[in-house]
Structure 1
Amino acid sequence: MIRSMTGFGRGHASTEDASATVEIQSTNKRHLNIFVHLPDPLPEAESDVRMQMKEAFERGQFDVNVSAELKGADTLPVDVDADAAMHHKRRLEQLAAAAQIEAPIRIDHLLEFEDIFAGEEEREAAKIQRAWPAVTQALDAAIDDLQAMRREEGDALRDDLERRTRAIDEHLDAIEARAPARVEERQAQLRDRLGALLDDEHLDADRLETEMALLADKLDVTEECVRLHSHLKMFREALDADEPSGRKLKFITQEIHREANTIGAKADDETISREAVEMKEEIEKIKEQIRNVE
């Protein structure tokens, strides 16, 4: 299964404390680049967002946009440390009991203790703690949505790549069918040219056979065709692999292009040259497509 590196995913989640929306846009990139855009008070959570993204994707450039809103408009502008407040209340009650004072503990008594109000760092940490469950749920949903789109795009890429490899197979079959006759024709032309230049009694038959053997070797594309068949087989296997195979497909395509170039250079034949050119046109289109494969 192959996946495209381009796509868009969106997720929304809501908890008792907050609601969050995450949008992810991905484009093709050789390596993994992640850009995270978080609102206040979430900048400290960027490393966690990056970690979730790295677990989900291998390659590509990602823009992750997070919006979050805390619920409860009636919350105080400062946060109260409930544990500290209860601690001081108990201490005051103990003190009142020891002094045999029966007056109740009032709020103004507790306001004397500054540590019951959370500081700036504590307030920000509390906000992150409240918002993060909604953010992580929305991020998971956005990742799932993006992966679904990348798989769908990958299926379309796979269909196109398979069609182009079949076209290369057809051109390769035509080259293999033409190659033996092309060698025989060139050998016959060599024999005719030498026969016209030399008298039959002075023609060195052994030398002629040697020259024809050298010519056949020079024109022979059997090895290139065999390697090209092998590369095409590996290409199809990479398309079926479970893991991301974009880098492997790129390498195999380079090897396919190398063999096609060699065949074209050794052609010395109109039919084979035409088939090699058309084959390389398909290879160039494959190169463009696999730039977008994860």
Structure 2
Amino acid sequence: MLKSMTGFGLARAANTNISVSVEIRSLNSKTLDVNLRLPKNFSDKELEIRNLLNQILERGKLNVSIDIQVIGEVKPRVTVNTPLVRAYCQQLRETAIAAAVPEDDIFRLAMQLPDAYIYDTAPDENAAKDWALIQETFKQAALACDEFRIKEGNELSGKLTEYIHKIGTNLNAIATHDPERLQNIRTRIRERIAEVVSDEHFDPNRFEQELIYYIEKLDISEEKVRLKLHLDHFMEVLAKDETPGKKLNFISQEIGREINTIGSKANDAVIQRFVVEMKDELEKIKEQSLNIL
């Protein structure tokens, strides 16, 4: 199943304590690149979320945002040690009077003294429930993004099939025209042979070597066969592999080599036009294959 690396996923959920919204936007990347910032009280869970995203989305540049809203009254985790602060204020006031100094900012000073605050270190009974909700919301957003990628992948598959078909059509046109090209080459060779043989400095051995070299240089039979095999291989990988992106990119490079070789060896204006058409379709394939998982 072909998947694009372009995707979008949004999920929302809530319990009696919090409401959660997670949004994932995905772009193409050679690796998994996650841009994520969890709330401070859940920052130690970031690796868990990254592993979850890796399992579902595998590769791509992910921009992840999360919004958490507290429902109802919030119980503070820090309270003022009122009796102790009152005692601090009393002592500071008495000291100021005894020392005959102003009593300014006594309360501020008292709040800076040891144990002026009481920190609730007991485990938050809702933390586990809230984290389970957050984790599930991330999962649903990732699955939604994956579904988006599958839909985009189906569209990409259709485009790539069309591009490969057009290259194949041009290859067939080259194969149809090639006998005429070869006949033109034979005619030129015969004319050239007639000129060379009549030359008094004619060297038959060297002429034979150059003739063989010339014929091999212009022969595109092997390139046509290899190009057809690469096109078939591309379609096979496109249909069967679950994550074919990198492999399709490699195959498209091989397709490009054969097209370039045909263009350079053919030495024919008609074939050059077909080669230009094939190169145009190949560029589209290369561009699209970079966005395939």
TM-score (norm 2): 0.79
Deviation at 1:201, TM superposition (A): 11
Task: Give the total of aligned pairs.
Answer: 255
Paired residues of 2:17 and 2:126 also in contact (CA < 8 A): no
Gaps of 5+ in 2: 79-117
- AA at the equivalent of 2:272: S
What residue is the counterpart of 1:218 in the other structure? 217
Q: Secondary structure at the match of 2:291?
A: coil
Gaps of 5+ in 1: 80-115
Deviation at 1:213, TM superposition (A): 4.4
Compared CA separation, residues 118 and 193, structure 1 to 2 (3 A): same
Deviation at 1:186, TM superposition (A): 1.0
* 1:48-98 deviation per Cα after TM superposition (whole angstroms, max 9, x unaligned): 11111011122101011112234341x53239xxxxxxxxxxxxxxxxxxx
Paired residues of 1:246 and 1:293 also in contact (CA < 8 A): yes
Deviation at 1:31, TM superposition (A): 0.9
Alignment of 1:13-52 (within 5 A): 13-52=13-52
What residue is the counterpart of 1:244 in the other structure? 243
Cα distance in 2 between the residues matched to 1:173 and 1:209: 32
Alignment of 1:191-270 (within 5 A): 191-199=190-198, 212-270=211-269
* 1:218-249 deviation per Cα after TM superposition (whole angstroms, max 9, x unaligned): 21111111111111111111111242111001
Cα distance in 1 between the residues matched to 2:290 and 2:149: 14
Q: Secondary structure at the match of 2:292?
A: coil
Deviation at 1:285, TM superposition (A): 1.1
Cα distance in 2 between the residues matched to 1:174 and 1:242: 30
What residue is the counterpart of 2:53 in the other structure? 53
Q: Percent identity?
A: 37
Paired residues of 1:191 and 1:208 also in contact (CA < 8 A): no
- AA at the equivalent of 2:59: R
- AA at the equivalent of 1:34: V
What residue is the counterpart of 1:10 in the other structure? 10
What residue is the counterpart of 1:101 in the other structure? none
Alignment of 1:125-204 (within 5 A): 128-199=127-198
Paired residues of 1:18 and 1:68 also in contact (CA < 8 A): yes
* 1:112-135 deviation per Cα after TM superposition (whole angstroms, max 9, x unaligned): xxxx9741xx55x65642321211
Cα distance in 2 between the residues matched to 1:265 and 1:127: 71
- AA at the equivalent of 1:254: Q
* 1:93-118 deviation per Cα after TM superposition (whole angstroms, max 9, x unaligned): xxxxxxxxxxxxxxxxxxxxxxx974
Paired residues of 2:56 and 2:143 also in contact (CA < 8 A): no
* 1:158-196 deviation per Cα after TM superposition (whole angstroms, max 9, x unaligned): 111000000000110111122232122112112112314
Over aligned residue pairs, what C-alpha RMSD do you find? 2.6
What residue is the counterpart of 1:92 in the other structure? none
Deviation at 1:210, TM superposition (A): 6.3
Deviates more, 1:30-39 or 1:126-135: 126-135
Cα distance in 1 between the residues matched to 2:39 and 2:280: 48
Compared CA separation, residues 127 and 45, structure 1 to 2 (3 A): farther
Deviation at 1:19, TM superposition (A): 2.0
Deviation at 1:203, TM superposition (A): 7.8
Cα distance in 2 between the residues matched to 1:5 and 1:35: 15
What residue is the counterpart of 1:102 in the other structure? none
